[in-house]
Chains A and B, each alone.
Chain A
Amino acid sequence: MDLKLLDAVASREEEEAVAGFAGGGRDQLLPALHAVNDRVGWLSQGALNLICETLHVPPADAYGVASFYSLFALAERPERVVHVCTDLACRVNGAETVCEVLTEHVGAAGKARGGVTWLRSPCLGVCERAPAALAFQAGDPATTELVAPATGASAVLAAQRAPSASDGAPPLLHQKDGLRLLRRVGVVDPSSLDGYRATGGYAALRTALRMGEAAVLREVTDAGLLGRGGAAFPTGRKWAATAAQPAGPHYLVCNADESEPGTFKDRVLLEGDPFALVEAMTIAAFAIGARQGYVYLRGEYPRALRLLRNALAVCRERGYLGVDIMGHEGFSFDIEIRRGAGAYICGEETAIFNSIEGFRGEPRTKPPFPVEKGLFGKPTVVNNVETLVNVPLILTEGAAAYRAIGTEASAGPKLFCLSGNVERPGVYEVPFGTTLRELLALAGGVPEGRSLRAILLGGAAGGFVRPDELDLPLTMEDARAAKTTLGSGVVLVLDDLADLGGFLLRIAEFFRDESCGQCVPCRIGTVRQEEAIRRVLAAGSEERPLLREVGGVMRDSSICGLGQTAWNAIESAIDRLGALR
């Protein structure tokens, strides 16, 4: 392929940012775009040109990729950008007030003034500290500052002063007893491998290496581990199917994109116990025969990025990654972090592959499934962070003991993300089968003096549950029977003062913003859905038949889970809460 490049020339800063990528291939496109965007704050034609020349990517293609992600700017903008979350949990906790104060003191959203601009953002994944704001400051090095919970004043301060380079406070847990997945979080230093090992770390990998691949696959299958990323697919089956593929190499991808509004459990694990993920991935790689793994980490998790980078470096240094891991001859494995750049759709398993390979984060058609043709066209396992962190537990406790937790069909402990109008928002770990009422009680219920209106279970792609349905046992099977889903573990609580209509509108806006645009039912259907909800809220018109018809076709004919679920929450609000009439 002969490239026809633009005439535009890169600045010295842009050249420095791209210098490290010489000799790289197309799969370095996303990191290279990040490097320039981090350094300069936006991507000029000259910078894109240089990236294309360096990585041998056609300029139109690179433009198509860069324009897909919301964290990249393709027109000049200030070095300091403040993202203010206006998504579900932040909305319920006063995000609009923060926006108003910012508008008054810094100017309208998206307008550059005094070296700064602020933008409305989808969920930043710190819903337990809502409302949240995240400031990015371009430079060498680039810095970030998380302000959560934010007030109008603290957001204005973040916009105006030099960054304090704080990536946020460590995760806070309200629970103390009986924790398995969370037992190290807030207790053990997440930057210390010795701290990790002193609390049982790497015992599971040692066990795995002793047992052999086949036995690990059997143990994970026998434990009945179901994927925690939303689809609840049996992990053992996924691993075994990939391990059995003759084509090589095999890849392992950890899905740490976590952009579903109301979800922050993976962030808590990444920030609180990063070595556990590294160990878990190493076990998974051993079982499926992978030598290379990727963590696809959402771009808005600076603290997780810092701690995970540290964990990988320390593990490499100490022989827990690299060749002959833990002295096991012939077992080599390493992990690369890929930062997402602001696109919820990149959490879809096949969109991740495109994103890592340097293409637009559009989902691929299935079949073929990832176990057969995944990353770089090779057999690939994609697993959620929480799913993986269950693996060391299974190997140390044994499949039978693990199975004894939870129910027959939903085994093990489960993390739930409580946010919204709840006394003590945060991540809670309970065995599957705990009722919604019990979970709510752990978090202190709705604030004093208010009453429960509804709970959004499973996130924007999930569904609403009424106050009279709190005895629902939280298991995959009970949720299915009640025609809802646990999804990614979201429990977003709305009290009697919550603006349900505005909340539904935000859900519709979210899907419209985050659609990749590939297929008609989703690209246009999500727009028509939002328009119809706006009409109901403004004029009280009857839009339910239209919403049902469009929603049904989005569900039936969209390519991927985003379009297929974009109508779930709104449908359940109509059917179960009597909304939009």
Chain B
Amino acid sequence: MTIVDIGIPKRLVEFTVDGAPVRVPEGSTILDACTAAGKEIPTLCYGDTLEPANACRVCMVEVEGSRTLVPSCSRKAEPGMVVHTDSERTRISRKVVLELLGSATDLSTTPDVDRWMAETGAEPSRFGPDAATVAQPAIVDNELYVRDYEKCILCYKCVDACGEQWQNSFAITVAGRGFDARISTEFSNPLPDSACVYCGNCVEVCPTGALSFKREYDKREDGTWDESRQTATTTVCTFCGVGCNLTLHVQDNEIVKVTSPHESSVTHGNLCIKGRFGWQHVQNR
């Protein structure tokens, strides 16, 4: 986890970002420092509750003295580092990485990506009409969530959330390699035959909508999903005594999905099947 711990006093590290001096607690990443300074660096695979997989390469910055660009989400700030977040090199890298992603993947439900594409001048279509993609039908094999891997950018977040970092269910993995690498259950068996316990923590962390709640998926399909009509209310789960925080997303007086605040010290955004999916009875009227 990269949440900056303020419990124990830490030494401060001094370095420069885009010419300005910054001081951050030891152990902070370059991204932490930039975020604290109000500077936006695009990220896709970065998860605020997960260890950095640094796989998407959207957050690359230039560190003087380094042969290659450096992932800001995982690289720790070091004293005296000279960092550029908006140089010619970082701009080209960000643009091309977004273009590569956009040319292979459906990013239509990935927040902020359109804006970043516009800002960098990315044009995914320039790889031509025959560019290989990961297009494939969505997998609807259970009533709780849908896997639409055409939208998957292989950020590893779902695998980490399902596996050793949170749920310890190990239901899903990355299989294959290269362009054929994909999120999969064992032998691509249906989810109900896998080790999945339907905690939905993978859906919680998925940055692209490749994993989505069935209700959301259905509403998007029939064109009735409308975030502008939704409210989010955080309450406490009533199923057991742990007291997890639930955020109920309500549209037209109907709960359409349940998330959990990532900053909650109890759940860090994780829930169990009951908290995540057990709300149908509330609205059986």
Contacts and interface: CB of A to CB of B under 8 A. Distances in A.
A60 B92 CA distance: 37
Interface in A545-575: 546, 549-550, 552-553, 555-559, 564
A557 B177 contact: no
B69 A557 contact: yes
A239 to B, nearest CB: 23
A518 B186 contact: no
B177 A524 contact: no
A512 B104 CA distance: 14
B68 A365 contact: no
B166 to A, nearest CB: 13
Contact of A64 (B101, B127, B175): B175
A516 B177 contact: yes
Contact of B131 (A61, A531, A549, A555): A531
Given A521-B96, A524-B100, A60 B180 contact: no
A1 B97 contact: no
B178 interface: yes
B185 interface: yes
A528 B171 CA distance: 32
Interface residues of B, number: 51
B92 A519 contact: no
Contact of B184 (A48, A63, A552): A63
A513 B179 CA distance: 8
Contact of B97 (A360, A512, A520): A520
A59 B172 CA distance: 9
Nearest to A549: B96
Given A61-B173, A525-B100, A558-B57, A549 B181 contact: no
Contacts of A549: 92, 96
A576 B136 CA distance: 41
A1 B170 contact: yes
B33 interface: no
Contacts of A559: 54-55, 57
A153 B73 CA distance: 56
B132 to A, nearest CB: 5
Contact of B179 (A58, A67, A523): A523
B82 interface: no
A151 interface: no
B153 interface: yes
Interface string A34-73: 0000000000010010000000001111111001100000
- The main secondary structure of chain B at its interface with chain A is loop
A37 to B, nearest CB: 15
B56 interface: yes
Interface in B98-157: 100-101, 103-104, 126-128, 130-132, 153-154
B174 A74 contact: no
A60 B57 CA distance: 26
B194 interface: yes
B68 A60 contact: no
Nearest to B134: A524
Contacts of B163: 58, 61
A54 to B, nearest CB: 15
Given A3-B195, A523-B179, A556-B60, A60 B93 contact: no
Most buried by A among B130, B178, B186: B186
A60 B69 contact: no
Nearest to A546: B126
Contact of A553 (B96, B170, B172, B185): B96
B96 A63 contact: no
B74 interface: yes
B97 A553 contact: yes
Nearest to A5: B195
B186 A6 contact: yes
Given A524-B104, A535-B128, A60 B178 contact: no
Interface string A506-535: 000000111111111101111110010001
A306 interface: no
A91 B195 CA distance: 45
Nearest to A556: B69
B189 interface: yes
A64 B184 contact: yes
Nearest to A3: B195
A343 interface: yes
A113 interface: no
A91 B154 CA distance: 34
B168 interface: yes
Nearest to A44: B187
B68 A360 contact: no
Contacts of A197: none
A210 interface: no
Given A1-B168, A528-B131, A517 B100 contact: no
Contacts of A61: 163, 170, 173
A469 B96 CA distance: 34
Contacts of B170: 1, 3, 58, 60-61
A61 B187 CA distance: 11
Most buried by A among B69, B175, B193: B175
A524 B98 CA distance: 11
A526 B68 CA distance: 18
A4 interface: yes
Contacts of A513: 178
B89 interface: yes
Nearest to A521: B57
Given A559-B54, A564-B68, A68 B177 contact: yes
A90 to B, nearest CB: 21
Contacts of B56: 519-520
Given A517-B178, A546-B126, A64 B173 contact: yes
B174 A517 contact: yes
Given A61-B173, A528-B103, A48 B186 contact: yes
Contacts of B93: 521, 553, 556-557
Interface of B: 52, 54-58, 60, 68-69, 71, 74, 89, 92-93, 96-97, 100-101, 103-104, 126-128, 130-132, 153-154, 163, 168-181, 184-187, 189, 193-195
Given A512-B178, A525-B96, 20 more contacts: A3-B195, A4-B194, A45-B186, A58-B170, A58-B173, A60-B170, A60-B172, A60-B186, A63-B187, A68-B176, A516-B177, A517-B174, A517-B177, A517-B178, A518-B55, A519-B55, A526-B178, A527-B179, A553-B93, A558-B68
13 contacts: A4-B195, A58-B170, A59-B186, A516-B177, A517-B177, A517-B179, A518-B154, A518-B181, A520-B55, A520-B153, A524-B179, A527-B132, A558-B57
